[in-house]
Amino acid sequence: MTREKPGRMMADEMAEQPAVLRRILDEGAPAVRRTAGRIAARHPRFVLLTARGTSDNAALYAKYLLEVRLGKPCGMTSMSTVTAYGARPDLTDVLAVTVSQSGGSPDLVASTRAAREAGAITVAVTNNPDSPLAAVAEYQVDMLAGPEKALPATKTYTASLLTLYLFVAGLAGDDGAEARALPGLAERILARGAEVGRLAARYRFAGSMVLTSRGYGYPTAKEAALKLMETSYIPALSYSGADLLHGPLAMVDNVSPVIAIVPDGRGGEALQPVLERLRGRGADLFVVGNEGAVAGASAGFALPTAGVPEELQPVLEILPLQMLAYEVSIARGRDPDAPRALAKVTETR
């Protein structure tokens, strides 16, 4: 019997992403707008976001959107204050958004239930509308990614980003029409797999990696680091560019691989001093960004971001980095479909 090629599920799910993005825009967007409109009418005073793992990085993206677009104070929940310590904060008129692919993690369910009991307006953004999380939240938003079988989340991450973008746009009274270009651009990026495969050879024997960005690109750096760690077991540290300059830069030298996500916009502008310092230290610098940003690096992947608002670029930025994690894992003899010691649903409490 022929053994199935390692990583087949992850590869197939990465390839599904343009279709998932189209489904969200064509089928999911009206429901997302309706839900956002009902919540906006209740005028929440600030926002709390709750998530784990890949969904935590999507929630961080939503934090940037909420603070920049709506001017809403926004924080990330410390779930253990409720689930382990039994704290019961007053969340009257607070919007509590929980992001979870499976909707089955007990700590997310418990935290959302407690938030609703404490007076919050609770929303579950999940890929499983029949999940325990969806059942305890007041509102439910379906990311419509379809079943995801590979342990490394790929299509549910980009689905989360687009769904959260449409949700925040709906809170602002916007229809999110600027996202219409994303599926076609995603297809163009994913068609460049051979290019990523050649780039992956640089990191086959990497002992560690550093990833950095600023602004809307920072959640991409965190998610890419997670993908590299869970598929290839490479210790990958992610930092905001500002934080990287406050000490961690000392560990970067001319044999240290650094991946920088350079957004085409204010986040990329804010990252320029960091890139200069990295080049000054002789870092092996890999850039994901526009052609100009890539030209000044040791290697890179040029994104077709011309005309794409900076707040939507994370949906595209992560795609070559998902492919990179996949290709590095295969080159190192791993199976990215089944990382050791990992489960699809995290059973933390």
Q: In what order do the strands lie in the sheet with 284-289?
A: 236-240, 209-213, 257-262, 284-289, 299-302
Count of domains forming the chain: 2
d(CA 40, CA 57): 24
Residue 276's identity, in one-letter code, is: E
Domain boundary among 127, 147, 182: 182
Residue 152 and residue 198 in one domain:
no
pLDDT score recorded for residue 94? 97
Residue 251 and residue 124 in one domain:
no
In a domain, 343, yes or no: no
pLDDT score recorded for residue 285? 92
In a domain, 345, yes or no: no
Residue 219 and residue 266 in one domain:
yes
- Between the CA atoms of 165, 167, 171 and 176, what dihedral angle is there, to the nearest 10 degrees? 50
pLDDT score recorded for residue 316? 98
pLDDT along the chain (349 residues), means of 10: 74 98 98 98 97 97 97 91 86 97 93 95 97 97 95 96 98 96 98 95 90 97 97 93 86 84 96 91 92 91 96 98 96 85 54
C-alpha count within 13 angstroms, C-beta hemisphere, residue 84 = 6
d(CA 247, CA 215): 20
The 8-class DSSP code of residue 299 comes to E
Query: What does the block give as tokens for 181?
Result: 């270009």
d(CA 231, CA 207): 14
Domain of residue 227, CATH code = 3.40.50.10490
Residue 29's identity, in one-letter code, is: A
In degrees and rounded to multiples of 5, residue 39 shows phi and psi of -70, -40
pLDDT score recorded for residue 338? 79
Q: Is residue 258 a contact partner of residue 248, using CB atoms and an 8 Å limit?
A: no
pTM above 0.85, yes or no: yes
Catalytic residues: 344
User: Which residue segment(s) compose the domain that 313 sits in?
Assistant: 192-331
